Amino acid sequence: MASGQMKRVWLAAGVFMLLFFVILEVRYDFIKQLASQGRLLDDISLEGISARNTWMNLYLKNEKIGYSHSALSKTESGFRLEEKIFMRMNIMGFSQDLAMATTAGLNPDLSINTFDFKLNSGIFSFSAAGQVKDMRTLSVTATLAGTPQQIDIPLKQPLYLTSALLYAVFQESKFSSGDQIAFYIFDPATMTQEKAVIHVAGDEEISYSGKRARTTKLIINYKGSTETAWMDETGDILREEGMLGMTLVKTTAQDAYAGLPDRPAEDITRLASVPADKLIENPRKTVFLKIRLSGIDTRNFALDGGRQKLEKDVLEISQEKIPRRQILRLGALPMEARNFLKSEPFIEADHPKIRQTVEAVVSSEDPPHQKAKKIIRWMNENISQRPVLSIPDALSTLENRVGDCNEHAVLFAALARAAGIPAKIEAGLVYLDGRFYYHAWNLVYVGVWVTADSAFGQFPADATHIRFVSGSPADQMNLMPVVDRVGISILEDREVLPRE
């Protein structure tokens, strides 16, 4: 496979990770804290809630790529909710299957008592199970690479599953056009909570599966991304539409299992990429890039600062220079940099296997920039680069020895932090073969902040890396408003930095 094609494969999960989070957080999401304009959950009667069983086909650009199933049933102690989703994706010519399942035990008021979430993509699996204790703490055990991680999340209010809660709220309540419901989503994949708002857009008649139905149109805003759903009088969702032409349509169980292609026609990586209006001849040697951005509010992203300079909608990116003679001590680190020395979910810098690897790769006498180079070199020699549908974490990547840009970014961050080098996760777009693809890389502190791309073997990374977000893996969710919206015009590119 040619170098350009191979690198494109390494980028594959950049956009898939965003799509996965959208599906997980909007359809299989956990909610903390419900607030409606003057209406609270306590005001709503739940006595009339009935069981339901819903199947939906999943389409990408009108081609079927999967299905979902949701079932709500009554139990002696409340309710039981079971949800499953299956997807088949075309990633650079490779057919990749992904299966997700959530089971939850709900209290009589539909709040969560227990939940169990599982994801499997063939070579990768992830699970998270949780239980609410004393109505104050959600105790979660996440298992990656066979290693459990315990996380206790303080709660101020009960947690709810969106699918169960919306069913109850809209079945038992009379909302009017223009009403809004605000709540906070808890995502077991990233262990984060974010605000979401549902806007009641009014009544609308739609077609689905050859039928006509009167519905209530709902617009869900989350992290700057918008999804539209149409709900019938019984509380069932008949249709959902999201970014990149991702659509869910209610169907039967028999139809849900039928009609899946061996490999979908649409390549999700290319579909999400941004076309360039000009050819960059040597992108990996580009040290200066000047572009104009359109279609997004540039104030909502980490576009300005460090090697990037933003003036209205014009962005200049200059490749950094590394301070080769400076040897840092922990006491000399700025406070903001010290925060990126710690372990966190999916970046297990303090795990013995991570530390043992670092001790074998670098010397304590090496200056920071040499440690970073050695880690990149070791990763290029020991971590196979290929698309992996996963929730990337450092330990799994180290043990599986395989991954794409996201796996490389979390593993490099963990190894760098274990070596005493502050490291962040950055994500945005990178130029390749006439288009800008979604990608993840790192930012490390070696006297100054310098970009590092272990998947491309670059330190510092070339100037076609356009940073939109910076921090931790969960910050990649902030890219959602960029997908399917941003436009890029190349104004200038150079292999030599312009003089001041």
| CA 9 – CA 407 distance, rounded (Å) | 13
Answer yes or no: are the C-beta atoms of 197 and 181 closer than 8 Å.
Answer: yes
Q: Is the per-residue pLDDT at 13 higher than 60? A: no
Q: What is the pLDDT of residue 108?
A: 81
What's at 140, amino acid-wise? V
Burial of 403 (0-12, 13-18, 19+ CB in 10 A): buried
Which of 62, 124, 60, 70 lies closest to 97, judged by CA?
A: 124
Residue 18 has pLDDT above 90, yes or no: no
Q: Is the backbone peptide bond immediately before 460 cis, with ω within 30 degrees of 0? A: yes
Q: Mean pLDDT throughout 22-44?
A: 36
pLDDT category at 213 given cuts 50, 70, 90 is: very high
Q: For residue 41, give the nearest of 125, 206, 176, 158 by alpha carbon.
A: 158
Interval 36-56 mean pLDDT: 58
Rounded mean pLDDT of 172-180? 69
C-alpha to C-alpha distance for 330 and 345, rounded to whole angstroms: 23
Helix 3-10 crosses helix 12-27 at what angle (to 10 degrees)?
A: 20
Angle, vertex CA 279, rays to CA 275 and CA 284, nearest 5: 100
Cβ atoms 248, 231 nearer than 8 A: no
Structural domains of the chain in order of their starting residue, each with its CATH number:
27-257 (no CATH), 273-494 (3.10.620.30)
Burial of 178 (0-12, 13-18, 19+ CB in 10 A): exposed
Beta-bridge partner residues of 430: 437
Tokens 């008949």, residue located: 238
Q: Specify the residue for token string 């191979």.
A: 6
At residue 5, does pLDDT exceed 70? no
Whole-prediction pTM: 0.80
For range 251-266, the mean pLDDT:
91
What pLDDT, on a 0 to 100 scale, did the predictor assign at position 25?
A: 38
φ, ψ of residue 43 to 5 degrees: the values are -80, -10
Residue 37: pLDDT above 60?
no
In this predicted structure, what is the pLDDT of residue 187?
A: 56
* Residue whose C-alpha is closest to residue 217's, from 238, 197, 234: 238
Give the distance, in angstroms, between the CA of residue 178 and the centroid of all CA atoms in the same chain.
30
Q: 465: left (phi > 0), else alpha (psi -120 to 50), else beta?
A: beta
Strand partners, 54: 70
Can you give the pLDDT at residue 278? 94
Q: What is the full DSSP assignment across 362-399?
A: --TTS-HHHHHHHHHHHHHHHSEE----S---HHHHHH
Dist. CA 68–CA 70, nearest whole Å:
7
* Token code pair at residue 3: 């170098």
Structure tokens at 181: 């419901």
At 130, which helix (H) or strand (E)?
strand 125-133
Q: What is the reported pLDDT for 250?
A: 93
DSSP 347: B
pLDDT of residue 47: 57
Smallest Cα–Cα separation from 391: which of 139, 119, 185? 119
Residue 298 has pLDDT above 90, yes or no: yes
pLDDT band at 167 (very low <50, low <70, confident <90, very high): low
Write out the DSSP string of 40-66.
Answer: -GGGS--TT---EEEEEEEEETTEEEE
Q: Which two tokens stand for residue 289?
A: 């890039």
Who contacts 447 (Cβ-Cβ below 8 Å, separation ≥6)?
A: 323, 326, 328, 368, 369
Among candidate residues 300, 364, 282, 373, the one with its CA nearest the CA of residue 327: 364
3-state SS, residue 113: strand
> d(Cα 143, Cα 189) in Å, to the nearest integer?
11
The gap from C-alpha 28 to its chain's centroid, in whole angstroms, comes to 14
Distance of CA 37 to the CA centre of its chain: 30
Say whether pLDDT at 93 is over 80: no
- pLDDT surpasses 50 at 12: no
